[in-house]
Chain A
Amino acid sequence: AQSVTQLGSHVSVSEGALVLLRCNYSSSVPPYLFWYVQYPNQGLQLLLKYTTGATLVKGINGFEAEFKKSETSFHLTKPSAHMSDAAEYFCAVRPNTGNQFYFGTGTSLTVIP
């Protein structure tokens, strides 16, 4: 079975600092990889995804993630945090077969002014 591990249920960064949210997955075959963000009282929104091709993926709001097959990782980064980035972030994978998404436990990001 697939599993997704997000290290750190809570991450705090200062405004303007680097954001790094970690995600590792377990799969013998590289799956499709996703990052979703949930702002308060809203549904999950797709930040970015990796399916094939370039391993560095750029998403909305200045976020990007790099797929590293050798490390089975898909960490999310943003060079400079903004107050509006405060939200909960979910890493997810979807196997190449089937339509089920497997999510991590989420990381709540706090941005300190």
Chain B
Amino acid sequence: EAGVTQFPSHSVIEKGQTVTLRCDPISGHDNLYWYRRVMGKEIKFLLHFVKESKQDESGMPNNRFLAERTGGTYSTLKVQPAELEDSGVYFCASSQDLGYNEKLFFGSGTQLSVL
């Protein structure tokens, strides 16, 4: 069974450009999360999808970030325009069930560098 796949693994862009990150969750997983780790800091929650609906987007930094999950399968996270402070590793995770038995499966992340 394929795990959570993220693309690209690395992205280097200039300030002001647009970048789109993609996440393919494990098939059948309704829950999809985006997290971000800025260098040296904790991994922070960005948002949570249940199928195609945004369940919780309280962690999105500002309106330069747009997440979508059309059809409830893969998700994209677009940053437009990118700023220097957006650099970091963006992780995607998926799970099948909510509740205390929820088990998150993480992708290997996208390393975003904004120059």
Q: Which residue numbers of A lie inside 8 Å of B, CB to CB?
A: 4, 9, 32, 36, 41-46, 51-52, 90, 92, 96, 98-106
**Which positions in B face A, CB cutoff 8 Å?**
3-4, 31, 33, 35, 37, 40-45, 48, 55-56, 58-59, 91, 93, 98, 100-109
Cα–Cα, bound, A44→B95 (Å): 13
Most chain-B Cβ atoms within 10 A of its Cβ — which of A42, A43, A51, A98? A43
Q: How many contacts A-B (CB < 8 Å)?
A: 59
Residue of A nearest to B107 (CB): A43
Minimal Cβ-Cβ distance residue in B for A96: B100
Residues of B near A43 (CB, < 8 A) are 3-4, 91, 93, 105-109
Q: A43-B107, A99-B98, A101-B104 are in contact. List 15 more A-B contacts (CB 8 A).
A: A36-B106, A43-B4, A43-B106, A43-B108, A43-B109, A51-B100, A90-B43, A92-B43, A100-B56, A101-B33, A101-B35, A102-B45, A104-B42, A105-B41, A105-B42
Residues in chain B near residue A42, CB distance under 8 A: 108
A residues in contact with B35, CB < 8 Å: 101, 103
For A101, give the chain B residue with the smallest CB separation: B45
If over half of A's interface residues share one DSSP class (helix, strand or loop), that class is named, otherwise mixed; here it is loop
Check A98–B56 contact: CB distance below 8 A.
Answer: yes
A44, A46, A104 interface centre (most CB from chain B within 10 Å) = A44
Complex Cα gap A51–B103 (Å): 12
Q: A32-B100, A105-B40 are in contact. Are A100 and B107 (CB under 8 A)?
A: no
Task: Report chain A residues within 8 Å CB of B91.
Answer: 43-44
Set of chain A residues within 8 Å of B56, measured between Cβ atoms? 98-100
Contact A4-B103, Cβ < 8 Å, known A99-B48, A99-B56: no
